Structure 1
Amino acid sequence: MSATAPRAAQLRIRLAVRAAVGLGLLAVLSVACALLSGFALAPLHTPFARSALPHLLVAGMLASVALRLLYWLWVPPPDGAGIVLPESRVPGLRRRVDRLCAQLGARRIDRIVITPDMNAAVVCRPALGLLGPMRTTLLLGIPLAHSLTARQLSAVLAHELAHLSAQLDGAGAWSAHLRTWWLRCVDRIDGDRSAVARAALWLLAPVARLDLEQSVALSRLDEFEADAVAARAVGSPALAGALIELAMKDRFLHDDYWVRVLDQADDRRRPRVRPFREMGLGVQVGFVRREALAGLDHLLRSDAGSLDTHPSLPERLDALRIGRLGGLPVAGEGPSAAEHYFAGLLPTLSLAFDRMWWEASADDWRQRYRQARGQHRTRRQPVL
């Protein structure tokens, strides 16, 4: 057990208890308002009722509050853009994931979803959104698969599945579900401009601030714990090498590849841009390792912000006992993980994501890119 585990366990309990109390309070208040609304209409059925208007007004106000509370409470997890991969189409990746699950003692992944983002994650959610049996999903970004070799991707997958092994199994999965559910409720209340929402937000402000601070602290501890578990499975040098490679490739994609893509999208004289179809070749040809290594010192000296849910790259390397500037792991050789695992599917996947890119419009993607670039200007690290 890592040194961070006891504190992380305490934070999980505190946040889960507060989330359960908050969600339960919303549910009880909603039911109470609905019942009171019915009671307010009860006198209208008696022979002594004089005026229906006051009763209707009170019942309407209570019913409105009940519906508002239900609106805050019913916040299912958002559905991200992605393509579910049938197991028969990616047998190699399925076997690799199953072996890692067995090695780490994690429950089996129910489905693998390919996304257009530079990230990887394991999510454990109820089958019906907010309720039902837990289902596990591995989210794997196609840019990430283009950036790593199959061996490096195994190290990243070990980190993600370590989350499942250490924090997201059994009661831990429901604890995480309650915590994220409550945070989504608070976000919905914050975005509501009604008088009831303003009053609720004023009452929740101290608790919401504490939840945010402790959620960030817990997320960072969870990352260190997952790194420690994954390092025992694949080795610290392999995990550190994958993290460094991914940080350099992420910087290249943001600062070079997507800049060129958006420039071509603005030029009407050029053919229709297909960024995901060209991404594999763009990383292979455009990424210059010598230049990336020259900028590595900046990546290895960056610090995480106070609200960053992930530790910075140097913090993670220090925790893995890998020197910042000396003895860094050598980059892996061989084809990318995308070519290794998805060779036959790449044209189909690329076409689907290119269509998403154009349907979302170049302007929307340009705005998202600039926002991401502003957030990562001083620290380049994909979400893992």
Structure 2
Amino acid sequence: MHPTPRQRQLRRRLTLRAGSGFAALATLWLGAFFTCLVMLSALMAAVVTDHTLPLLMAAAAACYRLGGWIHVPPPENGGIWLDEALIPGFRRRVDRICMRLGARRIDRILITPDTNAAVVCRPRFGLWGPMRTTLLLGIPLTHALNARQLCAVLAHELAHLAVQRRGCAAWHAHLRAWWLRCTERIEHERSAAALLVRPLLAPVAARDLRDSVELSRLDEFEADAVAARVVGGAALAGALLELAMKDRFLHEDYWDKVMAQAREARRPRMRPFREMGLGVQVGFVRREALARLDHLLRAKPDPLDTHPTLAERLRALHVGHLGGLPVDVDGPSAAQHYFARLLPTVSLVFDRMWWSESAREWRRAHRGAISGR
């Protein structure tokens, strides 16, 4: 599937602006660095004027500040790296989907505590080096979907890699994301240099953000269309609906009860990640979720949301009547199907992380009572 003319236009525009912005910052940095060298040479040759030392200090400060703006590596991918030998079935499934989509092979698979899946394509050393692909897979997502539904969601994520991160396109996307992080750092910095640059950069940064959100939404529709060709539009739509309902259950029911306990007990007895599979199996009532589905489908699009709404995605997949969708609820969860042996260990790690965070939250909530004792 070829990108739309609007996608090509946005990609060219954003990449050109990012390259121009970095070229301007790099030119300023080189100028400041050259000034430092000249002033240092003057000091070493004892050719010192009243302006030598102030110029050296100003140029060094400019080098430091500009270097901090330019060097903004992407955030580390948090999660647990899964060795291929421990997940042979899942690894084969991911490889088959990549092959059918024509995407490059996934280099690493990380399991995370989020209800989400994503494919990240970044240089090995943060800002440079060979491109490395990482699949981020949330353990709650695997509890929410069965194996077939998870494959449909993965097909969407891997479609991004297949059609939007090929060859130079991956480096262009990396440059665009790097520039957005750079402008964000300048926007939130309180230095005098940032205060001087910010009024000049603000219109460009606002336009970049607006165009980036629009491009991201178009990319989501494109990935849905490509994934639908592999797994079928009805299967993908059914997986999206199931995920929306289970995600709502987890956030508005399951985690609300868990966090309520965390606020009341210094060390909660519950182990939320270990019990999550059972919680979804017992607590999720499909009849109630379907009754509330209309509210999800009526959600209004957020102008700053990089993802289309569920209703927009279903319309793009030409799903007009939900009653005609197959209800694929057979079989165990994807967590049990692919990761049964790893669940106790992975859940223990995430539960310990949650215990640590909940203890801090409990101390913050009861700080006054504790200090009054």
Equivalent of 1:328 in 325, 329, 332: 325
Q: What does residue range 273-352 of structure 1 map to in structure 2 within 5 Å?
A: 273-352=270-349
Change (3 A) 1:246 1:352: same
SS of equivalent residue, structure 1 residue 139: strand
SS of equivalent residue, structure 1 residue 165: helix
Equivalent of 1:232 in 221, 225, 229: 229
Return the offset for 1:14: 1.0
Q: Does 1:199 align with 2:196?
A: yes
Task: Kindly provide the CA deviation profile for residues 124-144 of structure 1, in whole angstroms up to 9, marking residues without a partner as x.
Answer: 000010000000000000000
Amino acid at match of 2:98: C
Return the offset for 1:363: 5.1
Counterpart position of 2:371: none
Structure 1 unmatched runs, 5+: 368-384
Return the offset for 1:17: 1.2
Q: Is the 8 A contact 1:124 1:173 kept in 2?
A: yes
Return the offset for 1:28: 2.1
SS of equivalent residue, structure 2 residue 326: coil
Q: Does 1:27 align with 2:26?
A: yes
Q: What does residue range 1-384 of structure 1 map to in structure 2 within 5 Å?
A: 1=1, 5-46=4-45, 49=48, 51=50, 54-268=51-265, 271-362=268-359
Change (3 A) 1:50 1:88: closer
Q: Which moved more, 1:265-274 or 1:78-87?
A: 265-274
Q: Is the 8 A contact 2:266 2:362 kept in 1?
A: no
Return the offset for 1:297: 0.7
CA distance in 2, matches of 1:142, 1:106: 24
Return the offset for 1:39: 1.6
Task: Kindly provide the CA deviation profile for residues 269-310 of structure 1, in whole angstroms up to 9, marking residues without a partner as x.
Answer: 885331101111100100010110010011112121111100
Amino acid at match of 1:223: E
TM-score (norm 1): 0.91
CA distance in 2, matches of 1:62, 1:141: 46
Task: Kindly provide the CA deviation profile for residues 38-91 of structure 1, in whole angstroms up to 9, marking residues without a partner as x.
Answer: 22343334466455xx31111111110111010111111101320010001001
Change (3 A) 1:135 1:366: farther
CA distance in 2, matches of 1:357, 1:215: 33
Amino acid at match of 2:52: H
Change (3 A) 1:294 1:134: same
CA distance in 2, matches of 1:37, 1:138: 44
Q: Is the 8 A contact 1:85 1:113 kept in 2?
A: yes
Amino acid at match of 1:19: A
CA distance in 2, matches of 1:20, 1:365: 47
RMSD value over aligned CA atoms?
1.9
Aligned pairs, number: 364
Q: Deviation above 6 Å: which 4+ runs of structure 1?
A: none
Return the offset for 1:191: 1.5
Q: Aligned residues: percent identity?
A: 64
Q: Is the 8 A contact 1:262 1:366 kept in 2?
A: no
CA distance in 2, matches of 1:269, 1:160: 39
CA distance in 1, matches of 2:236, 2:362: 31
Q: Is the 8 A contact 2:142 2:150 kept in 1?
A: yes
Amino acid at match of 1:9: R
Counterpart position of 1:373: none
Structure 2 unmatched runs, 5+: 365-373
Amino acid at match of 2:130: P
SS of equivalent residue, structure 2 residue 273: helix
Q: Which moved more, 1:294-303 or 1:265-274?
A: 265-274
Q: Is the 8 A contact 1:297 1:325 kept in 2?
A: no
Q: Is the 8 A contact 2:147 2:333 kept in 1?
A: yes
Change (3 A) 1:49 1:319: closer
